[in-house]
Structure 1
Amino acid sequence: MAEGNSFVSSTVHVDVKDYYGKRLQKTSDLQSNACVAPAEPTPPFIRQALKKVHPEVTARYYGCGLVVPECLEGCRILDLGSGSGRDCYMLSQLVGEKGHVTGIDMTEGQLAVAMAYVDHHMREFAYKTPNVSFVQGYIEALSEAGLEKNSFDIIISNCVVNLSPDKKKVLSEAYSVLKDGGELYFSDVYSNERLTEEIKNHKVLWGECLGGALWWKDLLQFAEEVGFSPPRLVTANVITVDNQELQDALGNFKFVSATYRLFKVPKGNTKPCQVIYNGTITGMEENFKFDCRYTFKVNEVVEVDAEVSSILTNSRFAADFTFQPPGGPCGPIGVKPKAGIVDPFELALQQEKQGPGSDTGGCCRTQDATCCK
């Protein structure tokens, strides 16, 4: 796929471009009616931001769910596979005029829609200077697309990494353009085992985000090899496939939609500590769900392991917490989460039993197949 320092696109990219640039003209064109909105309620401030996005941009958006991390004011954000730009224009309002959002996509038609409405949205948001820009390029070759190394606070992606034939390269490029302390916050589709070549070569399954699904354990390995901290699982949802033809092609493979957060932080230099959430994150004034194990309640003392301690002290969240050594002065102490790797399939089953929660993360909650950008 790569020759020297020059990225070469593959037949997969050609097929995906055709699927999302020509075959799909609106959300309803997706086969099997897969991309439906998540059952979880969306916070009011995000709903308000989405209402201000131009209807044409929303109509040409092929994602599902929302991938919106916390604490965005003033941040520089990169959206991988930004499509028509819906999420970019929503995030534009959350980062504010002093922040910036960049969208990268390889599909000319989608980019044309996104770029056509930059001025419209800047007038709508009353911004004197545009804080949104779009770049054509591949998510496996961010530097070649002109994106500078160490330049973004946050990278988001909504059900796009599975469409890449080289997931490890995507993670490596993301790590390169993130600032120290930066985060890759993304939702995608994962399989319970490595998929067969037959499934990987099925164009419809790939276009519908199943054929390119990564075995979830491979994500853990790739992240470590690239340099990220171990992935923190935020939420996971079961994907069901009711289309009989697709189900027959998939056999016994199972799939989940899962949201992970990966951080570019130092390793091995931080010790466990106690943290107190200050309640200063917009929309999360009472509690902040960091991942499926840690939900920080305002003014509650929580013991965190060295890994989480490193993330909180070296990321944009540092100002939102008070840190003290283990055994320090205490307020009410929260329950200490269990350590270890979380299986997204087990979490998805747990969440399915519990019913809808309040997460905005998650790429797919479908009755039929799956979801795509």
Structure 2
Amino acid sequence: MDADELRDFYEGRQFEYGFASMCKMVLPDDELAGRRILDVCCRRGRGAYRLGELAGDEGSVLGVDWSPAYVEEARAGAERAWRKGGLSRSNLAFAVAYPEDLAAAGVEDGSMDVAYVNSVVTLLADPAAALAEIGRALRPGGLLILETVLADRPRDEAVVEAARALGNSVQAARTEAETLAWLASAGFSAPEVVAEEPVEASRGYREGATAPTAPGDEDVRFRAVALNAHKK
């Protein structure tokens, strides 16, 4: 997709309360100290703040999101976050860019050690292109931490597109085979599943919240997974 197509897709897609489905941040805490970490679709920065605390004074975090308003909010809270985290300096930065075009945020080839993507891949304009761009940003051997949702069977495309428009990252899920194909094409090794659980399409972004769902008669089961994959 070109820049105009990406702008047309993402314009107005704020998803005010975050993406549907709970964001758990399943992180290898002891592997993040001193790392250069990329937080893709960082939203208001809360995840990036957590990553910055784990990266420590010797590491850094770049949060990227397509929403200028969310990026400004993330920047506004950054000083409080790094001080609260006990750091001696800010290791946080934020930039506006589409996940399919991280170069617009100044992300160079092989410049990152770790990339984190939380509950958003199923909603992106071009998931395969976004994962390829993340692969470009990671150094060889770099770690992708991907939290996403898998469907147990091929999907009704009309339902998927309606779910994507709603921001329901669960109901927009693709199959495991499709997701693994995206990762392989992007240059990643076979991922390790570090956590998984069944999840309903109506499950909200926090405990007790519900998400709007698209109508349809599919008999689909969904599985929320945390995957770790390394760039070859």
Length-normalised TM-score, structure 1: 0.55
Q: Unpaired runs of 5+ in structure 2?
A: 203-209
Letter in 1 for 2:192: R
1:97-112 matches, cutoff 5 A: 97-112=57-72
Partner of 2:74: 114
Q: Unpaired runs of 5+ in structure 1?
A: 37-63, 266-373
User: CA-to-partner distance for each residue in 1:150-209, whole Å, 9 max, x for gaps?
Assistant: 111110111011110211111110110101110111101121223222112315764121
Specify whether residues 203 and 128 from structure 1 end up closer, same or farther in structure 2 by C-alpha distance, changes over 3 A only.
same
1:219-234 matches, cutoff 5 A: 219-234=179-194
Specify whether residues 166 and 12 from structure 1 end up closer, same or farther in structure 2 by C-alpha distance, changes over 3 A only.
same
Aligned counterparts of 2:141 and 2:213: Cα–Cα separation in 1 = 41
Residue aligned with 2:11, SS: helix
Question: Are the equivalent residues in 2 in contact too, given 1:163–1:212 (CA < 8 A)?
Answer: yes
Equivalent residue for 1:69, pick from 28, 34, 42: 28
User: CA-to-partner distance for each residue in 1:256-287, whole Å, 9 max, x for gaps?
Assistant: 1111111113xxxxxxxxxxxxxxxxxxxxxx
Letter in 1 for 2:228: R
Question: Are the equivalent residues in 2 in contact too, given 1:7–1:141 (CA < 8 A)?
Answer: no
Aligned counterparts of 2:95 and 2:115: Cα–Cα separation in 1 = 14
* Structure 1 residue 262 corresponds to structure 2 residue 222: no
Residue aligned with 1:195, SS: coil
Aligned counterparts of 1:141 and 1:10: Cα–Cα separation in 2 = 11
Question: Are the equivalent residues in 2 in contact too, given 1:79–1:156 (CA < 8 A)?
Answer: yes
* Structure 1 residue 14 corresponds to structure 2 residue 11: yes
User: CA-to-partner distance for each residue in 1:89-116, whole Å, 9 max, x for gaps?
Assistant: 1121111111001101111222121111
User: CA-to-partner distance for each residue in 1:9-62, whole Å, 9 max, x for gaps?
Assistant: 154423523xx2xxx2x57xx8xxx655xxxxxxxxxxxxxxxxxxxxxxxxxx
1:211 Cα deviation from its structure 2 partner: 4.5
1:123-142 matches, cutoff 5 A: 123-142=83-102
Letter in 2 for 1:80: V
Aligned counterparts of 2:160 and 2:7: Cα–Cα separation in 1 = 14
Residue aligned with 2:42, SS: coil
Structure of greater Rg = 1
User: CA-to-partner distance for each residue in 1:292-330, whole Å, 9 max, x for gaps?
Assistant: xxxxxxxxxxxxxxxxxxxxxxxxxxxxxxxxxxxxxxx
Partner of 1:238: 198
Number of residue pairs matched by the alignment: 224
Residue aligned with 2:13, SS: helix
Question: Are the equivalent residues in 2 in contact too, given 1:104–1:134 (CA < 8 A)?
Answer: yes
Aligned counterparts of 1:7 and 1:232: Cα–Cα separation in 2 = 36
Partner of 1:208: 168
Question: Are the equivalent residues in 2 in contact too, given 1:78–1:101 (CA < 8 A)?
Answer: yes
1:341-356 matches, cutoff 5 A: none
Residue aligned with 2:130, SS: helix
Letter in 2 for 1:264: K
Length-normalised TM-score, structure 2: 0.85
Question: Are the equivalent residues in 1 in contact too, given 2:109–2:137 (CA < 8 A)?
Answer: yes
Specify whether residues 251 and 68 from structure 1 end up closer, same or farther in structure 2 by C-alpha distance, changes over 3 A only.
same
Partner of 1:196: 156
1:1-373 matches, cutoff 5 A: 1-2=1-2, 6=3, 8-9=5-6, 11-17=8-14, 20=15, 24=16, 26=17, 35=21, 64-70=23-29, 71-202=31-162, 206-241=166-201, 246=213, 248-265=215-232
